[in-house]
Amino acid sequence: MSEPAGAKPTRFLRDYRAPAWRIDDVELVFDLDAAATIVQARLSLRQDDAAAPLELDAEALELLELRIDGRVLGADEFSLAADRLVVPGARGPLVLESRVRIAPERNTALQGLYLSGTREQGFLLTQCEAEGFRRITPFLDRSDVLARYRVTLRADRARYPVLLANGNADGAGELGDGRHWARFVDPHPKPSYLFALVAGRLESIERTFVTAEGRRVRLVIHAEADAIGRCGWAMQCLEQAMRWDEERFGRCYDLDAFHVVATHDFTMGAMENKGLNIFNAKYLLADPASATDDDHRHVLAVVGHEYFHNWSGNRVTCRDWFQLCLKEGLTVYREQEFESDLASRTLRRIEDVRLLWRAQFSEDAGPLAHPVRPDRYSEINNFYTATVYEKGAEIVRMLGVVLGRDGFRRGLDLYFARHDGHAATIEDFLAALGDANGVDLSPWLAWYEQAGTPELRASGRHDARRRCYELTLEQHTAPTPGQPHKRALPIPVAIALFDAAGRALPLRLDGEDADTAAHERVLLLDRDAATFRFADIDEAPTPSLLRGFSAPVRLVQDTPPPALAALARHDSDGFNRWFAGDALVRRLFAQALAGSEPDAALFAAWTACVGSALDDPGVDPALAAEMLTIADATSLADGLADIDPEAVHQARARIETGLAVALASKLVRRHAALGDLDDLAVDPATQARRRLRNACLAALCRADAAHAPLARAQYARARNLTDRLAALGALLGMRDTEADAALADFAERHAGDALVLDKWFSLQATEADPRACERVAALLVHPAFRWSNPNNVYALPGAFALRNPRAFHRVDGDGYRLVADAILRLDALTPQVAARLATAFGAWRRYEPLRRALMRRELERMLGRERLSPDLADILGRSLAGT
């Protein structure tokens, strides 16, 4: 496949070559200014390959001077093209000095050095992953070049009072002309993508943390004055993360200070720069008045995530960007475990699986499908995907399941010990985990190399005469782009068998000792199909399969509905209770979509399960809330072809409303019983109750407009954002006469609070009503919406495109046009964000012919535009490949 116009050339994993030149030491001096910053670099370079010319990455730089070993180079001694600085005659070792000028305030791509906020009030910061450092200084900007950095920042003291860079502080002072300086030394060799600096007017809060190794560490969180009061929760989360990583994985922090900075202008969630994490404010600021319970948990997770990267990513980094999942899959897994240990394991697992289904399974089913470790890419920014992150974490989780908790820990210890201070590969990771446990994990490489969602078929048969239960498991993975034939994968299937009374049976496979029988075990399916025979099973059992979602597969089981209903009531694994309920929902959904009346007995069985979870005070309220919340439209459409999103919506709504009507009296009761909560508490137990109360409210409002007063009263009374937003959503969803007044009140109440207004935008953008399209169009000119701010974009056109299938896929094509216009506009500003939005069109081939044609037309219209960014050209080109 060749690249479309505007795209970068494709790079291949198989072409990897070790760097011909290396950099041992880096000295940087910045004269910081929003309009024009001067960067002086002094690089000590070594030549490993005598035949290779010196070629440095350099983008959007104005080169002022270049010296080698102190001598200024003449214009004929080097060449500077769009992205490359070449010095043909250079021979190492040598010292290269460069001086360049850059313009942070004009940098709307938000990669390299840029300005957050306004020219007068804002602050300067950097974003270097994946390839942003080359926009700061000419460099070998690749992750397998690890160097020691010494960085001096100079700037006007009044305008930029706070100066920060990676590592330990190494002096500061005045320059006499109103400017000041600060120096930082980072003792840990690092790749350039982990470089960071921050300069500006920032406030801070500070604590001291003593590591298990006895190191005293300053923890400092910095934010602008209006936000610093909302950093306390993040500080608490950071301390918990540091302690948890010591206790669970034996990992301690390794510098004298750990800085965290919040910005409103960021394309992603947050960034793990060594000792100087930079966060999208959305994942750092939280208090009950301006952040929901979910936001509080996201802050916990992301603060943990970035901190955990200090080992999984920074101390051991990636050899190249094909190995991105090495750091991201492992770190997402660590983050999941952190939140699971601190808050609710069942809730986190359900949310992760929902995300996997919605974002990753659908990615895997379209033209943008790629392996967790891609073997080629044109623009690496486009590979920060659900596949690399979420499926990458699932693979690590499976390894954790097969190795066991202690075995996994041993493996990870060896991985960190072996590769500390180096750049590693997925092969290295599997080798370390395998060597520490005396097993060969090389078959697991297939999970990293093969795209597509495996289908796992399970069928059971009880043999009364031989008193055994036979479970047959088969796997199949459909072709994906460039991979017509798939290999069998090692699939761990965690299983329990329940008898009619709901008791877990001892699981002994034919031929095994009786005394080893456990009540839950993991079967490994490592070929196309296998049959497992359990002995001493007197009656036909109910199998609970894939417990805890032990593998990222699409499970097709022949379990009859009554057995699923039994699991949804009694399974001892909270996740599988929910999972069994979801399996029932999917059967009802299939009937409704086919146009038939859903099977009454099946419907009754399902609603009874949800009802019993609602009534049972012993059930985790968070689990009950999740059981009340059925899968989203995208997940329900998984595996379908010729999708009609309007029909999907109607079928789903019928089931969702049916549930609410059937349970109305129980909902009223439970809602009232949960009335008395501490509105300002955010501990997991209170959050869980609030979650259930708001799920009850939403369901009641769906069931009957007569419940509107409940929502109105909650809106008026709400003392925290969770309750206020839930009430507003309920009013909007039922098109209550007071919905518009409440929307206006909300905007006024939170005017000036960008993060809260983003939620207000999103709520309207995701309303499952075709008219959301007009609403979004009107909001795009709201004074609080700025095209240059990624959070605004994700909250409004982004939420519409990616989380409102009914309106985005409007049959008149207006939704598509709106989003395509937004993408083209954004591409000139923030290409990374434009490309992300464009993935909304990726699944176009899976829709019914009319929508398919409309989506294709928009894709072609966008591709026909001149001067597309490489980011957008890559997504459009791959989406249309083969047409």
Is 323 within 8 Å of 600 (Cβ atoms)? no
**Residue 194 Cβ vs ligand PHE, minimum distance, rounded to whole Å:** 9
Closest CA to 614 of 700, 681, 684: 700
**Residue 638 Cβ vs ligand PHE, minimum distance, rounded to whole Å:** 25
**x/- site string to Zn ion, residues 278 to 317, per CB under 5 A?**
----------------------------------------
| DSSP-assigned letter for residue 798 | I
Exactly one of 57, 254, 306, 656 binds ligand PHE (CB under 6 A); that residue is: 306
Residue 63 amino acid letter: L
Interface stretch with Zn ion, choices 101-109, 325-333, 348-356, 480-488 (CB under 5 A): 325-333
| DSSP-assigned letter for residue 541 | P
**Residue 203 Cβ vs ligand PHE, minimum distance, rounded to whole Å:** 24
For ligand PHE, which is the closer residue by CB, 129 or 394? Answer: 129
Residue 400 CA from chain centroid, whole number:
20
Give which of Zn ion, ligand PHE, none residue 245 binds (C-beta under 5 to 8 Å, depending on kind). none
What 3-state class would DSSP assign to 737? coil
For ligand PHE, which is the closer residue by CB, 258 or 844? Answer: 258
**x/- site string to ligand PHE, residues 75 to 114, per CB under 6 A?**
----------------------------------------
Q: Does position 166 bind ligand PHE by CB under 6 A?
A: no
For ligand PHE, which is the closer residue by CB, 392 or 490? Answer: 392
Q: How many CB atoms are closer than 10 A to CB 442?
A: 11
For ligand PHE, which is the closer residue by CB, 112 or 842? Answer: 112
Exactly one of 253, 283, 384, 498 binds ligand PHE (CB under 6 A); that residue is: 384
Exactly one of 127, 292, 559, 762 binds ligand PHE (CB under 6 A); that residue is: 127
Give which of Zn ion, ligand PHE, none residue 296 binds (C-beta under 5 to 8 Å, depending on kind). none
The DSSP line for 127-183 is E-TTTTGGGTS-B--STT--EEEEEEEEEETTT--EEEESSEEEEEEE-SSSEEEEE
# residues near ligand PHE by CB under 6 A: 11
Closest CA to 639 of 517, 412, 477: 477
Q: Does position 335 bind ligand PHE by CB under 6 A?
A: no
| Largest distance between two CA atoms of the chain | 94
Q: Does position 224 bind ligand PHE by CB under 6 A?
A: no
13's CB contacts (< 8 A; 6+ apart) are 320, 322, 373, 374, 375, 376
**Residue 379 Cβ vs ligand PHE, minimum distance, rounded to whole Å:** 12
**Residue 331 Cβ vs Zn ion, minimum distance, rounded to whole Å:** 5
Closest CA to 655 of 727, 602, 728, 731: 602
Interface stretch with Zn ion, choices 49-57, 167-175, 320-328, 524-532 (CB under 5 A): 320-328
Which residues between 250 and 289 bind ligand PHE (CB under 6 A)?
A: 268, 270-272
For ligand PHE, which is the closer residue by CB, 352 or 753? Answer: 352
Q: Does position 129 bind ligand PHE by CB under 6 A?
A: yes
Q: Which two tokens stand for residue 271?
A: 């960034």
Interface stretch with Zn ion, choices 8-16, 117-125, 157-165, 329-337 (CB under 5 A): 329-337
CA distance 61 to 706: 63
**Residue 389 Cβ vs Zn ion, minimum distance, rounded to whole Å:** 7
**Residue 447 Cβ vs ligand PHE, minimum distance, rounded to whole Å:** 20
For ligand PHE, which is the closer residue by CB, 305 or 373? Answer: 305
306 is catalytic: yes
CA distance 26 to 189: 10
Residue 517 amino acid letter: A
Q: Is 488 left (phi over 0), alpha (psi -120 to 50) or beta?
A: beta
CA distance 758 to 795: 5
CA distance 267 to 282: 11
For Zn ion, which is the closer residue by CB, 310 or 559? Answer: 310
What 3-state class would DSSP assign to 98? strand
Q: Which residue(s) pair with 98 in the sheet?
A: 41, 66
For ligand PHE, which is the closer residue by CB, 268 or 545? Answer: 268
Q: Which of 97, 129, 306, 626 is catalytic?
A: 306
The sign of the CA dihedral 483, 488, 490, 494 is positive
Give which of ligand PHE, Zn ion, none residue 384 binds (C-beta under 5 to 8 Å, depending on kind). ligand PHE
Give which of ligand PHE, Zn ion, none residue 715 binds (C-beta under 5 to 8 Å, depending on kind). none
**Residue 277 Cβ vs ligand PHE, minimum distance, rounded to whole Å:** 9
**Residue 328 Cβ vs ligand PHE, minimum distance, rounded to whole Å:** 6
Q: Does position 305 bind ligand PHE by CB under 6 A?
A: yes
CA distance 253 to 238: 12
Is 516 within 8 Å of 540 (Cβ atoms)? no
**Residue 384 Cβ vs ligand PHE, minimum distance, rounded to whole Å:** 5
The sign of the CA dihedral 726, 727, 731, 734 is positive
Q: Does position 660 bind ligand PHE by CB under 6 A?
A: no
Report strand pairing: 71-72 vs 62-68: antiparallel
Give which of Zn ion, ligand PHE, none residue 393 binds (C-beta under 5 to 8 Å, depending on kind). none
For ligand PHE, which is the closer residue by CB, 305 or 521? Answer: 305
The DSSP line for 241-293 is HHHHHHHHH-----SSEEEEEEES--SSSEE--TTEEEEEGGGT---TTTS-H
For ligand PHE, which is the closer residue by CB, 217 or 301? Answer: 301
Interface stretch with ligand PHE, choices 26-34, 150-158, 238-246, 305-313 (CB under 6 A): 305-313
For ligand PHE, which is the closer residue by CB, 268 or 728? Answer: 268
The DSSP line for 566-634 is HHHHH-SSHHHHHHHHHHHHHHHHHHHHTTSPPPHHHHHHHHHHHHHHHH-TTS-HHHHHHHHSPPPHH
The residue number whose beta carbon is nearest to ligand PHE equals 268
Residue 380 amino acid letter: I
- Which residues contact ligand PHE by CB under 6 A? 127, 129, 268, 270-272, 305-306, 309, 328, 384
The residues annotated as belonging to the active site are 306
- Which residues contact Zn ion by CB under 5 A? 328, 331
